[in-house]
Amino acid sequence: MNVRMNAEVEQALREGKPVVALESTIISHGMPYPQNVETALQVEKIIRENGGVPATVGIIGGVCVAGMTEEEIREFGWKGQEIPKVSRRDLPVIMATGSWGATTVATTMIIAAAAGIEFFVTGGIGGVHRGAEQTFDISADLEELGRTNVTVICAGAKAILDLEKTLEVLETKGVPVLGWQTDELPAFYTRTSGLKVDHALKDAAEAAAIIHAKRSFGLDGGVLITNPIPEEYSMDPEEINAVIRSAIAEMDSLGIKGKECTPFLLAKIAEITGGESLASNIRLVFNNAKTGTEIAKEYCKAYGK
């Protein structure tokens, strides 16, 4: 796969500097304009301030890009949902037709790996949807984590999902689920879920050592590092779960399915909470960018790239 990289990203990879990939679905589908653009640019700024090089990933004119320009990010934000979400199955069509595409977690991982980028920061991964035993609605993110060699730093799986089943699938796929200074899986809007991760990380050095061990042994697949939302932005678990149940009920009544579920639910939850959930979403992404860059820096320092 040919990936277009900007000069900053290309040079950083050549010199073994910490490069951190970012997805573009969060720009076009994750939040309204102009907040989406402001958030995307702020995340890039946080990565730079902490010693890393950001590489926002997207598809422009059928070309996979790792390191979008500010102008391209602004256009993604302005076009919004006119730009389709692109997962693994959609890539051939988008590339062959010369279209634009907003990359999901799965597609960002594919493009990051093709570019030689080990680290990717996002808000939350997709997973097993509630009621999947009837709908079979399971995110392609889990399949990608099982096969693609990228470390993903997030605030856990999105809280709209069945977190217990999501962990079961990750175990089946052989994906280490690590907690950043916690032994409990964070639940996106909240710091706790009642579920245990595979290992609690003490610091960036331990995270880097685990990633290096997996890569050195030739164990294909991702590493998932789950980073709890900062305490001051964490929402009340009972309140947010009640809101999620209400949003899911409305989604079901409208017959919304497939890849339209997550954008609908996130928007509906933001509406019901008066924007509080969106504010939490933005803060957890900022926090993940800082933590992810710290781990990427340590990995490059200890192991060269």
Q: Mean pLDDT, consecutive 10-residue segments, the chain of 305 residues?
A: 94 97 94 93 98 98 98 96 95 97 98 98 92 84 98 91 95 98 94 96 98 97 98 90 88 83 82 88 96 98 86
SS3 category, 211 = helix
Locate the domains of the chain by residue range.
3-303
Rounded to whole angstroms, the Cα distance separating 213 from 181 reads: 19
CA torsion sign for 257, 260, 263, 268 is negative
pTM of this structure: 0.94
Q: What is the pLDDT, as a whole number, of residue 137?
A: 85
Q: What is the pLDDT, as a whole number, of residue 179?
A: 98
C-beta separation of 157 from 177 below 8 A: no
User: Identity (one letter) of the amino acid at 91?
Assistant: L
Nearest to 201 by CA among 241, 219, 221, 228: 228
Homologous superfamily in CATH for domain 3-303: Indigoidine synthase domain (3.40.1790.10)
Q: Record the tokens describing residue 17, joined without a space.
A: 């500097």
Nearest to 26 by CA among 146, 120, 140: 120
Output phi, psi for 180, to 5 deg.
Answer: -75, 100
Rounded to whole angstroms, the Cα distance separating 290 from 272 reads: 29
Give the Å distances, CA to CA, from 88 to 6, 77, 162, 275. Answer: 23, 22, 22, 31
Q: What is the pLDDT, as a whole number, of residue 286?
A: 98
Q: What is the pLDDT, as a whole number, of residue 149?
A: 98
Query: Catalytic residue numbers?
Result: 23, 158
* Longest CA span, the chain: 53
Q: Record the tokens describing residue 59, joined without a space.
A: 């598809």
Q: What is the pLDDT, as a whole number, of residue 305?
A: 59
Q: Record the tokens describing residue 170, joined without a space.
A: 């990750």
Q: What is the pLDDT, as a whole number, of residue 275?
A: 83
